[in-house]
Amino acid sequence: MESSLPTPNDAGAPLIVAQGVRKHYGNIHAVDGVDLDIRSGELFGLIGHNGAGKSTLFKMMLGLIPATSGDIRIGGALVAGRDFRAVRRTVGYLPENVVLYDNLTGLETLWLFAKLKGAPPAEAAPTLERVGLAHAAKRRVREYSKGMRQRLGFAQALLGKPRILFLDEPTTGLDPEAIRSFYATLRQLRSEGVTTVITSHILAEIQERVDRIAIMTAGKVQARGTVQDLREQVDLPLWFSVRVSKEDFETVRAALSHLQVEAIEAHDDHVKVRCRRDAKMAVIEALARLDGRVRDLTVREPSLEDVFFGFSD
């Protein structure tokens, strides 16, 4: 029921809850026992290889395909249950590789989907403006570039002021400028209390932008948490890049000798040091004691990509 859907004030309360969700196609276990709780107001990333089950899970969360077992609730209501209309009016969905109708103009496209969603048609024009397509409102989608189609698809998802957004690979085909403005829009929506679930295969792009992520492989959620949580869980080594002149290489090596450093490599004008996460602060302290000899220091944390491969290998 609509009344049972949490209001934006319930930030942090579980909004989308999946319990023991499975989708089997014969012997193929596309989704194989997924438990998730996505909290109200968060920006949640779902990552995984192609075929890991992300899109299938997405479609089950929308109630597009039934689960073999388990259930998925949004605001307490079963997504494919009797209240599916109320649930869907609170949800915006951007499918992967969105396909819209070539013969309609941008504005007509939004009118169509506004009508289907029960949103006022007057929302269409401002929504087009929000995604930067006001200038192309009266052009047919046939003439739109890939990026413009993607933005129109995003606009469609924003109709009816949804409380939840499901965005499947939303930045495909966008240029860097458009990606930036896309995430700015997401941040603004988040400040308005909108919960967003996003998939992306460009891990570098989402690692700084999501609150929490779940890593899916072979139909299962291997890990979930903030990017930092996952780094700690997977316990990958860090890399230091220490800029020193060549004659100080040995000094650095000596200063670090008593520490649990896994590798030291000498390069032209810097030394690369690999160590475990728990030795990070000790290494920084030891380097700080070398006074003026260290000209620069950069720490490379394992990226989300490293973390991802750490979990999926």
Partner 1 sequence: MEITQIATIASKEFWDRIRNRWVLAVALVFTAFALVIAYFGAAQQGTVGFRSIDLTIASLVSLVIYLIPLIALVLGFDAIVGERERGSLDLLLSMPITRLELLLGKYVGLAAALTFSTIAGFGLVAIVLSARLDLNALYHYVGFMLSSVLLGCAFLSLAVMLSVFAADRTRASGLAIATWFFFVLVFDLLLLGALVVTGGQWGGEIFPYLLLANPADVFRILNIFSLDDVRTLYGLATVFPSALANPWLLGLVMLAWIVVPLGIASWRFRT
Q: Which residues bind partner 1 (CB under 8 A)?
A: 59, 62, 64-66, 84-86, 88-89, 91, 93, 95, 97-101, 103, 112-113, 115-118, 153, 156
Between residues 13 and 116, which has the closer beta carbon with respect to partner 1? 116
Compare residues 61 and 213 and give the one whose CB is closer to partner 1: 61
Encoded tokens for 29: 């276990």
C-beta of 171: minimal distance to partner 1 in Å? 18
Task: Find the shortest distance in angstroms from Cβ 15 to partner 1.
Answer: 18
Least separation, in Å, of the C-beta of 165 and partner 1? Answer: 12
Closer to partner 1 by Cβ: residue 109 or 200: 109
Amino acid in position 42: E
Residue 105, token pair as written in the block: 């103009």
Compute, in degrees rounded to 10, the torsion defined by CA atoms 19, 25, 28, 34: -10
CB of 85 to partner 1, least distance (A): 4
Nearest distance from residue 101's CB to partner 1, in Å?
7
Task: Determine the residue type at 302.
Answer: P
How far apart are the C-alpha atoms of 302 and 193, rounded to whole Å? 31
Q: Which is closer to partner 1, CB of 117 or CB of 270? A: 117
Residues 6+ apart with CB under 8 A from 143: 136
Q: How far apart are CA 241 and CA 39, in angstroms?
A: 38
CB count in 10 Å sphere of residue 150: 24
Strands 164-168 and 91-94: parallel
- Rounded CA-CA distance 128/143 in Å is 16
Taking the C-alpha atoms of residue 266 and residue 277, their distance in angstroms, rounded to an integer, is: 21
Around Cβ 109, how many Cβ atoms within 10 Å? 25
Give the Cα separation of 3 and 17 in Å (integer): 17
Nearer CB in complex with partner 1: 98/189: 98
Residue closer to partner 1 by CB (options 51, 121) is 121
Structure tokens at 263: 């590798």
Q: How far apart are CA 38 and CA 259, in angstroms?
A: 41
Q: Which is nearer to partner 1, 116 or 122 (CB)?
A: 116
Name which of 165 and 275 has its Cβ closer to partner 1: 165
Shortest approach of partner 1 to residue 211 CB, angstroms? 24
